[in-house]
Chains A and B, each alone.
Chain A
C-alpha cells in the first residue's frame, strides 16, 4: 500500500499571514476609492444632463462636510494607489535600455510619479483657471 498522503494546507486568511500580502490587499483596496470617485463624477454628469437646477442640487450636495471628508479620504487613497502603481511598474514592463545600460527601477518609478504629479497639477491649474 502507498503510504504517501500529501497534506494540503488551507488557504483561508492567506493575506493576513504576511505583512507583504496585507500591504498588497491595502493597495488593491484603494482601487475601490478610485472607482467610488469615478461614480461620483458620473453621477454629476447625469445631474448635469438634467439641466441647471439638477446640477445645482448636486453641487449643493457636495458641500456636505461628510462628503468633503470622504473626498479627502479618497484623495489620500488615490495618492497611495498612484505610489504603489508606479512602484510595481518596473516589474511589469520590458527593460528600458538607455545608452547601452538598463534603466534602474527607481528611475522608472520616479518618472512615473513625476508624470502623474505634473499631470495632476496641470489638471488642477486648468480647472482652477476655468472656475474663476
Chain B
C-alpha cells in the first residue's frame, strides 16, 4: 500500500429482499488512493469487507453504462466519479433513484428495456434495397443532425434525474425518447408515423415539465431534454396537421 493512502467512509444503502422490509444504511471504512473511483471503493468493500454487496459494473471507463449510482444524491457513473473529490467527508452511495431496488445497488431495469423495445430502435427503411442496390447513403450533414442522440449508453442516469419518471413510471422517459428522436430524424428512416403514436400517447412527451436535469447528468452529452422537448412541438404539429391533411398519421 502506498504512503499517500487515506481512509474514507462510504455509506451504502443496503437492501436484501430476502431479509429486509426496507433499505437501510451501512457505513464502511475504505482505504483509498487519489486514483480510485467510487466504483473501486465499492469493489473494495465487496472484496475485503462484505462479499454480499451487490452492484453492476463492467467496463470501468464510462462506456458500458452499467455502474450508474446515486452518489451524494446525484445520478453518476461510479467509474468516473472519484473518492478524492469527497474526502474527508463521507460518500453516500445509493441505487439509481426512481427505479425499484432489486438488491443493494442493483435496480430493476425491466421497464426501461421494454421502453427501448417499444420505440422500435432500428431503421425502418422507406423501401427495402437489395444487396445489389448497395447501402443506404447519407451525407455528413444528415449524420450530424442525429449523431448526438445516438451516443446514449443506456446508463439510465437521466431516469434517475427525472422526477416525472419517479412520479409516473409509465412515462417513456428521456433516454428512450432521445433514441426515438434519433431514428425519427435519420434520413434513411421512414418509421416516424408509427413512433409518433408513442410520442403522442399518455406515456409520451407531455409528461415532461422541462426540469432539464436529465441533460445535466448525461455522461455522453446526448441532451435528452432537447429530444423530448422537440417532440412536444412535433406532437402538437402531428395533432393539428391532421385537420389540414385528411390522410395524416394521427388517429
A-side residues, CB < 8 A to B, are 3-9, 11, 14-15, 17-18, 20-21, 24, 28, 88, 90-95
Contact = CB atoms under 8 A, between A and B. Distances in A.
Interface in B166-213: 166-167, 209-213
B73 A7 contact: no
A6 B74 contact: no
B248 interface: no
B101 A7 contact: yes
A31 to B, nearest CB: 11
Nearest to B230: A94
B97 A9 contact: yes
Nearest to B75: A18
A17 to B, nearest CB: 6
A14 B166 contact: yes
A20 B216 contact: yes
B127 interface: no
Across the A-B interface, give the 7 residue pairs with the lowest CB-CB distance, nearest first: A6-B100, A5-B17, A92-B229, A7-B101, A91-B225, A6-B108, A8-B100
Contacts of B230: 92-94
Nearest to B168: A11
A60 B23 CA distance: 60
Nearest to A85: B210
B109 to A, nearest CB: 11
Contacts of B209: 28
5 contacts: A6-B17, A6-B101, A8-B100, A18-B213, A91-B223
B18 interface: yes
Given A91-B210, A91-B223, A91-B226, 16 more contacts: A5-B17, A7-B17, A7-B23, A18-B73, A20-B216, A24-B211, A24-B212, A88-B212, A91-B229, A92-B226, A92-B229, A92-B230, A92-B232, A93-B229, A93-B233, A94-B230
Interface size of B as a range: 20 to 34
Given A6-B100, A6-B108, A94-B230, A21 B211 contact: yes
Contact of B213 (A9, A20, A28): A20
Given A91-B229, A92-B229, A4 B17 contact: yes
B76 interface: no
B163 A4 contact: no
Contacts of B216: 20
A20 to B, nearest CB: 5
A3 B233 CA distance: 45
A85 to B, nearest CB: 10
A10 to B, nearest CB: 10
B102 A3 contact: no
B226 A21 contact: no
Contacts of B232: 92
Contacts of A20: 211, 213, 216
Interface in B209-225: 209-213, 215-216, 223, 225
A90 B212 CA distance: 11
Interface string B98-119: 1011100000100000000000
Given A14-B166, A88-B210, A9 B229 contact: no
Interface-centre pick from B22, B145, B211 (highest chain A CB count, 10 A): B211
B166 A3 contact: no
Contacts of A91: 210, 212, 215, 223, 225-226, 229
B39 to A, nearest CB: 22
B226 A4 contact: no
A21 B210 contact: no
